[in-house]
Amino acid sequence: MGTMDPANSTPAVTIRDVTKRFGSVAAVDGVSLAIAPGEFFSLLGPSGSGKTTMLRMIAGFELPTSGRIELDGRDVTQSPPFDRDVNTVFQDYALFPHMNVMRNVEYGLRMKRVPKDERRTRAAHALATVRLEQFGDRKPDQLSGGQRQRVALARALVNEPKVLLLDEPLGALDLKLREEMQSELARIQRDVGITFIFVTHDQGEALTLSSRVAVFNHGRIEQVGTPREIYETPGSAFVAGFVGSASVIEGAAARALVGDDGPYSIRPERVTILAAETASSDANTIRANGQVTDVQYHGDGTRVQLQLEAGASMLAEVPNVGDQTSLPERGAKVTVGFRRSDMLSLHHAGAEPDQARAHVSRTHESGETP
């Protein structure tokens, strides 16, 4: 599944300068996007960044204040949801509690007056796709969370929409089930080939599943790119901080270490703690002295927070392999080293560079509030 070049074919979804205001608040502020057919496209961002509002405008539950939305080249900006060839998988699944699984899945086909026999066949096929063929007679409240999730998926997929919209569909599942469903989603998307637009606040999920990711912040898109691009060449301090962890070095500290004002970002796993205060920087490697301010055990690795003598704070990640006695303790003086090329220049820092100064933890779930 390669990313299609948007220029070569009509995009499945085109968003042109869309703004949505609720009163004086701009939930979505001048967003433009083109999503190619067959993409697994994620809208990633913290709570309140406008990603869900964007999805609801594509679905037709909200109308944009200004701008234009096209599906497969057709302007649907003002169309009601039932006139759009998209279907949604809701965060709370929104299964009809009074209908059994089969009737839930058939619902969309019934609305389109698909004959009964065909309806049954297609619904059964959709249930097979999500591996629930035996559950047609159950009521939603007799299913587990993961099973409900898959019914919701089948109910949307059975309509063979051009675009499937998924609004944090895995948010309510526990970790293990979420990981299972992630690979399930990826498999299904590969099998059916429908464009998926996936809203999530979980950067790990976005990076794992997507062909491309749009990072939202304050109603705007900070960066659009493949997961690798987003992670390895973040376009802004916000993206650097939000997608994975990064230390941002700028100003005097950057001048001392690199030679100009920056800003630069560096991933913790690219920072090595050296055994002793050894050699100084050379053309490829930068070394700096600092003091350990915090040590956090993270299972697969240990994060060491440092205050550099050059004046910046920096995170280093030490993989938890082999001998752990070499880990520095809080207050210890250490030397860190990293490649000059791992210092990523944040050319056009995002709207809120100061946000990225703090080290953003790997996931943002704890901060998620409606």
In the bound state with other proteins, the residue whose beta carbon lies nearer, of 83 and 300, is 83
In the bound state with other proteins, the residue whose beta carbon lies nearer, of 82 and 175, is 82
Report the alpha-carbon distance of residue 257 to residue 335 in Å, rounded: 13
The least distance separating other proteins from the CB of residue 73, rounded to whole angstroms, comes to 21
In the bound state with other proteins, the residue whose beta carbon lies nearer, of 158 and 221, is 158
In the bound state with other proteins, the residue whose beta carbon lies nearer, of 95 and 194, is 95
DSSP 185-220: HHHHHHHH--EEEEEES-HHHHHHH-SEEEEEETTE
Cα-Cα-Cα-Cα dihedral of 55, 235, 210, 70, to 10°?
40
* Radius of gyration of the chain measured on its C-alpha atoms: 24
**Nearest-CA neighbor of 129 among 54, 67, 184, 56?**
184
The least distance separating other proteins from the CB of residue 178, rounded to whole angstroms, comes to 20
In the bound state with other proteins, the residue whose beta carbon lies nearer, of 62 and 269, is 62
The least distance separating other proteins from the CB of residue 107, rounded to whole angstroms, comes to 5
Report the alpha-carbon distance of residue 69 to residue 76 in Å, rounded: 6
Report the alpha-carbon distance of residue 17 to residue 28 in Å, rounded: 10
Interface residues with other proteins (CB under 8 A) are 59-61, 80-82, 86-88, 90-92, 94-98, 107-108, 111-112, 155-156, 159
The least distance separating other proteins from the CB of residue 56, rounded to whole angstroms, comes to 8
The sign of the torsion formed by the CA atoms of 191, 193, 196, 200 equals positive
The least distance separating other proteins from the CB of residue 139, rounded to whole angstroms, comes to 12
In the bound state with other proteins, the residue whose beta carbon lies nearer, of 122 and 267, is 122
- In degrees, to the nearest 5, what angle opens at C-alpha 19 toward C-alphas 15 and 25? 150
Report the alpha-carbon distance of residue 111 to residue 109 in Å, rounded: 5
Count of residues in the chain? 370
Report the alpha-carbon distance of residue 370 to residue 368 in Å, rounded: 7
CB contact at 8 A, 287 and 337: yes
In the bound state with other proteins, the residue whose beta carbon lies nearer, of 58 and 336, is 58
In the bound state with other proteins, the residue whose beta carbon lies nearer, of 142 and 320, is 142
Report the alpha-carbon distance of residue 107 to residue 204 in Å, rounded: 33
Report the alpha-carbon distance of residue 310 to residue 322 in Å, rounded: 31
**DSSP conformational letter for 257:** H
Omega of the bond leading into 115 within 30 degrees of 0 (cis) = no
The least distance separating other proteins from the CB of residue 91, rounded to whole angstroms, comes to 8
In the bound state with other proteins, the residue whose beta carbon lies nearer, of 108 and 263, is 108
The least distance separating other proteins from the CB of residue 88, rounded to whole angstroms, comes to 5
The least distance separating other proteins from the CB of residue 113, rounded to whole angstroms, comes to 10
**Which residue shows structure tokens 């992670």?**
231
- Strand-strand pairing, 163-167 and 195-200: parallel
The least distance separating other proteins from the CB of residue 43, rounded to whole angstroms, comes to 18
Report the alpha-carbon distance of residue 65 to residue 50 in Å, rounded: 14
In the bound state with other proteins, the residue whose beta carbon lies nearer, of 2 and 97, is 97
The least distance separating other proteins from the CB of residue 92, rounded to whole angstroms, comes to 6
Structure tokens at 108: 């969309």
